[in-house]
Structure 1
Amino acid sequence: MLFFVGELIFSFSIKKGNSEVNHKIASIPYSHRLSNVMSDTAGYRYIDSVITVFREDYDIKGLSVAISDGGRLIYARGFGYADAEKQEEVEPRHMFRIASVSKLITASAILKLVEEGRVNLQNRVFGPGSILARYDTSKITDPRALTITIDNLLKHTSGLYNKKGDVMFMTLSVARALRKQAPANMDMLVEFALSQPLDNAPGAEYDYSNLGYSILGEVIEQASGMPYEEFVHFYLLEPLGITSMKVGKSYLKDRDRDEVKYYEFNRDIKVQAYDGSGHLVSQVYGGNPIELLAASGGWLASPAELMKFILAIDGDPATPDILAQQSIAYMTTPYGKDNKLVGWKACDGHGTMWRTGTLTGASALVMKQ
């Protein structure tokens, strides 16, 4: 299952009129007000054909696309199936796992805390007097870890252990290494990471880290006194009228009613369940700890609602931003090699930014031009 967002610019407003009617409309999730029929016009036949060929070439069960221009949604359409077995077609309301596109949400949440004076980008994360001082660092292997800052985590320059594998996808191995009962939680993952030497000195090298962004989720909870997902909804999504986006679940039985079903190319391959149950499961349902990945890769979104959020953090004057100009500048100013950006993946130096995300069974792309 592939999820694709092509972003130019988008905003939404309800026309003035009967207040009771407007209230009822506003209570309906934004993406539920859209349908494939609304984009089924002659002007978009070329786009339809390109996407259809792409889907067929890569044997993709279903995908969804949203495009906006000049502050206005101009295209939102699903292709293929949300549930192939039931022959349920993808509509704009359907949500997908957006994987690492979730990092844009987490980076924005951290910067909202910075704007409110609850954290500082140079705050240390571990050790006495730090934000996450609750973590035991008495057995720390590499004392340089005590100098890791929020800025390091946001920019993937923390140096945290990563070379022998991504611990966010090795949770069973981590639990066994610590001789603790699975499923692993963030306390266990941090304990394990701090028991290993750093790969690099903090701030020295870019080394993509899912663990780093998951730790930022812990920072958000500690600084705000709220659960991570609740903070994001209250301070970022609800003010924008976004109501459907949420952190996903690991198992098929817990799938949201508007969430698509995920598929693998080889459905015969089974892996051990992340929760330590000993069950053999598909990688897409039970192989990865989606809830644990929340801040680094666990969110669900429809293209239209995700579009609405992206346009509130991109700095384009066509739509108001939910973050201050200084925060937007921090996220959109290139750093290091290859024009890296905070939250975003990178930019081309000529006005185009992008963010990708991949999990087994799902891929996502956001592009701002």
Structure 2
Amino acid sequence: MHLVDDSTDTTIAGIFERRITDGVAPGSFVAVFDRDRIRYEQGFGGISVGGPVPTSDTLFRIASCTKSFTAAVLLILRDAGRLDLDAAVDEFVPEFAPVLHGGVVGRPTVRMLLTMSGGLGTDDPWADRQESLSREAFRAVLERGVRLITVPGTAFSYSNLGYAVLGQIIERVTGTSYVEAVTSLLLEPLGLGAVFERPDDAVTAIGHRVVFGRGVEDAGHFVEVPFSGPGVFSAIGGLFASPATLIGWVRWLDGAWAGDDTGPLSAASRREMQQLHRIAPPRPTLDGVPSRHALGYGFGLFVEDDAELGTLVSHSGGYPGYSAHMRWHPATGVGVVAFENAGYAAVAKPAEQALRLTLAAEEETPATVRPWPETLVASMTATGLVTHWDDRVATALFAENVALDRPFEERRAAIAAAVDRVGGIAEVASGRATPICDSPDHLVWFVEGERGRLRLEVRLTPTVPLRVQTFTVAVDESSLT
């Protein structure tokens, strides 16, 4: 299967092939897709050292991508009136009584744990080895005490422990195990083949780690990592899923933006999952420079406001023996899932490259926001007023505030002065600069003159019939020659 052009899938293939030849992982799989089709998918290496190549049906541990499933179940319970997200966690799990340094008790809410702002510290290495912990053992862990690093609700800190506690909330609200609740409330209604125990009748990629250290006979080689079984910490990362299954999950989440209201969770609640609820510190970009983009956590998902692409939604999974990543672009529905069978291999990096390459290869640059047809018509009419002002046209175009804010006579004079400063404009106005649209009811565009250009702006009213409430014409001072 191919992308928009063959050079893009060749480049993506090269990126993932090098992961195998460079010894990052024994095997890898990547798929690029949109709302209608699989654009490209390919496996590399083997499901074990020297084993068969992974396919779209091969099961991998998806690790922390599981958190989006945990969050979705909590919202299903919220929407059914069975759970208040703003209730204190200790109302459901009384043994969870975290304290700040000095002994001050903190009471995180369910929402705070969902958005990684419960005050708990980052705990990946420890938590990833706790999956099989029993309820009784987990209760004992909590009763021994939990230390907070920040006041709950004030800062982002990625916490697996918080999601393990959320798993216990699910159990106590539903009266069933976490695994049973996720399966019956989410996986079965959606027909998703994700599971919490490795099935005997499915091809599963074997997890590995790299052997390091001098004097070790097979240093630099891969050794298998034993599978862990389900337990309390399955809520943080316990799912097995194939690429095909994870694509189905992403498409269902992303379908909320296209109005798909099917399934056990409403489109509105799925969009809520994909909102930035808690800002996070900047993360390094692919070249190692700290990102200036807004990044944070929604409900079980990371949300990024990219300056070029707009909103991106994602989650990574790192687990003993595995690395997984899912990432999509809600404006276009284009997404990527990627998997590797080596612990903490950071497959998110090549997955992010694959998505950016795909979007760059689109026949049309994916706009994050497109103006309404009415906004475009208003901009063309407004451009006509700049070249040939007509009070009747202006009266039909503008809302009543425009003439009240600045009478037409003054506007005509100001526009004429601006046109004179740029040396006049062509009879057929042209603009070489790219228009700016940050909202469908708003547009900024440019009209070229002999000695510079004009900056024009319109914004429509929120009421029908739509009228222009903001109209400005100004000289772009940087363009004057």
Task: Provide TM-score, normalisation by structure 1.
Answer: 0.70
Aligned counterpart in structure 2 of residue 330 of structure 1, from 241, 254, 272: 272
Give, in angstroms, the shift of residue 190 of structure 1: 4.7
Give, in angstroms, the shift of residue 59 of structure 1: 3.8
Give, in angstroms, the shift of residue 206 of structure 1: 1.3
Rate the CA distance shift 1:307–1:132 in 2: closer, same or farther, 3 A.
same
Q: Deviations over 1:62-87 (max 9, x none)?
A: 111222113323333322111225x3
Rate the CA distance shift 1:289–1:206 in 2: closer, same or farther, 3 A.
farther
Q: For residue 354 of structure 1, what is the aligned residue in structure 2?
A: 314
Amino acid at match of 2:233: L
Rate the CA distance shift 1:131–1:228 in 2: closer, same or farther, 3 A.
same
The CA distance in 1 between the partners of 2:99 and 2:209, in whole Å, is 41
Aligned counterpart in structure 1 of residue 109 of structure 2, from 125, 149, 154: 149
1:119-268 matched pairs, under 5 angstroms: 119-126=83-90, 130-133=91-94, 135=95, 142=103, 144-145=105-106, 147-160=107-120, 162=121, 167-169=126-128, 184-193=133-142, 195-242=145-192, 244-248=193-197, 257-266=202-211
1:1-369 matched pairs, under 5 angstroms: 43=6, 44-85=9-50, 87-126=51-90, 130-133=91-94, 135=95, 142=103, 144-145=105-106, 147-160=107-120, 162=121, 167-169=126-128, 184-193=133-142, 195-242=145-192, 244-248=193-197, 257-266=202-211, 284-285=225-226, 291-314=231-254, 315-317=256-258, 319-320=260-261, 322=263, 323-338=265-280, 339-341=295-297, 342-349=299-306, 350-369=310-329
What secondary structure sits across from 2:44 in the alignment?
Answer: strand
Give, in angstroms, the shift of residue 113 of structure 1: 0.8
Rate the CA distance shift 1:138–1:159 in 2: closer, same or farther, 3 A.
closer
Which structure has more relative contact order (CA 8 Å, sep 6+)? It is 1
Whether the aligned pair in 2 keeps the contact of 1:344 and 1:353 (CA below 8 Å) is yes
The CA distance in 2 between the partners of 1:101 and 1:343, in whole Å, is 8
Q: For residue 33 of structure 1, what is the aligned residue in structure 2?
A: none
Rate the CA distance shift 1:51–1:260 in 2: closer, same or farther, 3 A.
same
Give, in angstroms, the shift of residue 304 of structure 1: 1.1
Give, in angstroms, the shift of residue 319 of structure 1: 5.0
The CA distance in 2 between the partners of 1:164 and 1:222, in whole Å, is 24
Amino acid at match of 1:344: L
Q: Give the gaps of 5 or more residues in structure 1.
A: 1-37, 173-182, 270-281
Q: Deviations over 1:89-112 (max 9, x none)?
A: 212111111111111111111111
Whether the aligned pair in 2 keeps the contact of 1:100 and 1:296 (CA below 8 Å) is yes
What secondary structure sits across from 2:225 in the alignment?
Answer: helix
Whether the aligned pair in 2 keeps the contact of 1:311 and 1:319 (CA below 8 Å) is no
Whether the aligned pair in 2 keeps the contact of 1:248 and 1:255 (CA below 8 Å) is no
The CA distance in 1 between the partners of 2:97 and 2:15, in whole Å, is 53
Task: Provide TM-score, normalisation by structure 2.
Answer: 0.55
Rate the CA distance shift 1:92–1:168 in 2: closer, same or farther, 3 A.
same
Amino acid at match of 1:237: L
What secondary structure sits across from 2:105 in the alignment?
Answer: helix
Rate the CA distance shift 1:110–1:136 in 2: closer, same or farther, 3 A.
closer
The alignment yields a C-alpha RMSD, in angstroms, of: 3.5
Whether the aligned pair in 2 keeps the contact of 1:142 and 1:198 (CA below 8 Å) is no
What secondary structure sits across from 2:86 in the alignment?
Answer: coil
The CA distance in 1 between the partners of 2:97 and 2:136, in whole Å, is 12
The CA distance in 1 between the partners of 2:147 and 2:98, in whole Å, is 14
What secondary structure sits across from 2:203 in the alignment?
Answer: coil
Whether the aligned pair in 1 keeps the contact of 2:35 and 2:251 (CA below 8 Å) is no
Rate the CA distance shift 1:169–1:364 in 2: closer, same or farther, 3 A.
closer
Rate the CA distance shift 1:348–1:165 in 2: closer, same or farther, 3 A.
closer
Rate the CA distance shift 1:188–1:167 in 2: closer, same or farther, 3 A.
farther
The CA distance in 2 between the partners of 1:157 and 1:136, in whole Å, is 16
What secondary structure sits across from 1:264 in the alignment?
Answer: strand
Rate the CA distance shift 1:291–1:80 in 2: closer, same or farther, 3 A.
farther
The CA distance in 2 between the partners of 1:96 and 1:258, in whole Å, is 9
What secondary structure sits across from 1:247 in the alignment?
Answer: coil
The CA distance in 2 between the partners of 1:136 and 1:57, in whole Å, is 44
Amino acid at match of 1:327: S
How many corresponding residue pairs? Answer: 297
Q: Deviations over 1:297-331 (max 9, x none)?
A: 11111111011012212333175553223322321
Give, in angstroms, the shift of residue 202 of structure 1: 1.3
Whether the aligned pair in 2 keeps the contact of 1:82 and 1:88 (CA below 8 Å) is yes
Rate the CA distance shift 1:204–1:73 in 2: closer, same or farther, 3 A.
same
Amino acid at match of 2:37: R
Amino acid at match of 1:152: M
